[in-house]
Amino acid sequence: MLYIKPFTSEDELPRFAEAFREGKLSYIAFSGKEIIGHIFYRARPDRLLIEEVESGGDLGLFDGLVRAVADAAVTAGLPCMEFGPEVDKGSLQALAVPVDEQNRLYSLPAFLHNCKSCNFS
């Protein structure tokens, strides 16, 4: 079974614990007990900065990781998300993520509300 969860200090995953000590937050995707993907991000006062998305080329997993973080950003009151240079631009384009020329996605609530493939109810 596939599930995506935020990394917490109780998780015994050294790579993610090290990233956390560096100030990065993460969500991790599992298939059973196997890690199949992750997303690293940082909270800024006015936006979330997505630094890395690893999905093994699976667009559905990429989409799920980005939407999980977008939902967390909306819950935290952040209206905007920015994708760093390490994030695969081809995946963003293939998924029609509406970013501007600075790789920012404005109006996260509208993005999630207009989603045809997700259900955050």
Question: Per residue in 62-110, pLDDT tens?
Answer: 999 999 999 989 888 888 999 999 999 999 999 888 899 889 998 888 8
Q: What number of residues does the chain have?
A: 121
Pairing of the two strands 48-54 and 34-43: antiparallel
Q: What is the pTM assigned to this prediction?
A: 0.88
The number of beta carbons lying within 10 Å of the beta carbon of residue 3 is 10
* Closest C-alpha among 77, 3, 2, 82 to residue 42: 82
According to the model, what pLDDT value does residue 119 have? 45
